Amino acid sequence: MKLSTGGESHGKGLFAIIEGLPAGLRLDLCAIDGALRRRQSGYGRGARQKLECDHAEILSGVRDGRTLGSPLTLAVRNRDYENWKEVMAPEGCDTDLRKLTAVRPGHADLAGSLKFGQEDARNILERASARETAVRVAAGEIFRAYLGALGIGIAGYVRSVGSISDGGEYSFEEILANREETLGMMDARLAAKVREEIDRARAEGDTLGGVLELRVKGLKAGFGSCMTYREKLDARLAFALMSVQAVKGVEVGLGFEAAKKRGSEVHDEIGKEGPFRRLTNRAGGIEGGMSNGEELCLRAAMKPIPTLTRGLKTVDIATGEGTVAAAERSDVCAVTACEVVLEAALAAELAAVVSERLGGDTMKEVLARYEALS
C-alpha cells in the first residue's frame, strides 16, 4: 500500500494517489471532510483557515462508496488559489510578484533554495508548507477505514503546549470520549491556561509548540519484524511521524524516560490469561521491532512554527544583506492540527505494514487472514 501526494500551498489544489487498496472497502465520505474540519480547527490558528473550507473529492478508484482495487485519487482544492493565480498559475504567471528572498529561519527556504538552485524561496516554501498535510489527512481517513474494518483504532490528544503539560494517564476510550475540542487536550483546566499562553504569544508576535500522544488499539502481535532494520515497526512509525512538518522528536512507550530507570522499572513482565499479555505496557506495544499485542503508545514533539510576525534575523538571498525574515500568513499555535495530521500519518504507515503481512485483493480476503492470526 503506497501513498503519494502532490500540490503547492497556493496552487490549484493538493492531490493524493493511494495504491494497493483492496477491493470492497466501504468508505465514509463524510468522515473524510470531518477530519479536514478537525485539521482546520484549534485555538491559535491563522487567517488561512478562514479562507479555506476543505473538502475532499474522490476522482478515481471508488464506485458507490466502495473501493475497486484500482489506484484511489483524492483532490483537496485550494480556494485561495483565486487570489494567487497571477503568482502561481502553471500556465504562466508573474514570478516577480510576492517573490520571497528574505528567507525564514527554521523553514525549508534557505536549504531548499541552495539545493534546488532557486533565487525565489517561494519555489521551495509552496511545497514545504504544512498546507500539504490537508490531503494527507484526507488520505488518512481512507487508511483509517481499512484499519477500522479489522478492529484497529487510532486516537490521540494534545499532551502539552509550551511549558504547560498534562501528566495524566488516559485510556483509549477516555481519549475518544473526553478530548476537548478547541485544543485537543484532556484537562479543561489546563486547556484554559494554554489559551491564555497562546494569547500572550500572539501579542508578542511569537509562536508555541507542544507534545502529542497517539494510541493504537486492536493491533495483533507480529506486525513489523526483527529480521531486518527496515521492517522494524517502531522505526517505520517513527519515520512516519517525523515526516510531518515541524515534528522534531518521536518516542515510543516510556521513550526517553526509560534511559533514566533501571531495567526492572522498564521491561514489561509477561503473564498468560488465555493469550500472552504484558502486565504493564512501558514498551508502548512494540518489542524487538514488532507489535506485541498491547496498545501502541507514541508521542511526538512539535516545534513552535518558525514564521513569527515579529520576524527573526536573516539574510536576503538576493542582496546578501542582513534583514528581518518575511512574515507569511501563519498560525500562533497549530498543535491541535498537528495531532490530526499525526493520526493520518500513523494510519498510512500502519495500513502499509498490515497490508504487507496480510496481502489480499479483496477486503473479504484481508478480514479472513487477520481473523486467522493468533
> Quick one: pLDDT at residue 2?
96
* Residue 162 grid cell: 509550551
Average pLDDT, the chain: 95
- β-bridge pairing 286-287 and 290-291: antiparallel
In this structure, is the dihedral angle defined by the CA atoms of residues 80, 29, 136 and 214, taken in order, positive or negative? Answer: positive
Query: Can you tell me the mean pLDDT for 257-266?
Result: 96
pLDDT digit string (tens) for 307-364? 888 889 999 999 999 999 977 667 899 999 999 999 999 999 999 999 999 999 999 9
pLDDT digit string (tens) for 27-82?
A: 999 999 999 999 998 898 765 555 668 999 999 999 999 999 999 999 999 999 99
Q: Which helix (H) or strand (E) holds 178?
A: helix 172-178
- DSSP β-bridge partners for residue 324: 313
Residue 273 vs residue 351, higher pLDDT: 351
Share of the chain above pLDDT 70, in %: 98
For 82-101, write each residue's pLDDT tens digit.
999 999 999 999 999 999 99
- CA–CA separation, 340 vs 266, rounded Å? 29
pLDDT for the residue numbered 273: 78
Q: Please give the pLDDT value at position 16.
A: 98
> Quick one: pLDDT at residue 372?
97
Q: How many CA atoms lie within 13 A of 209 on its CB side?
A: 15
Residue range 248-271: mean pLDDT, rounded:
96
Q: Does domain 2-372 have CATH number 3.60.150.10?
A: yes
pLDDT confidence tier of residue 170, bands split at 50, 70 and 90: very high
Residues 311 and 106: beta-carbon distance below 8 Å: no
What are the tens digits of pLDDT across the range 123-156? 999 999 999 999 999 999 999 999 999 999 999 9
Residue in 6, 323, 249, 47 with CA at minimum distance from that of residue 136:
6
Find, among 39, 40, 79, 32, the residue nearest to 57 by Cα. 32
CB atoms within 10 A of CB 47: 9
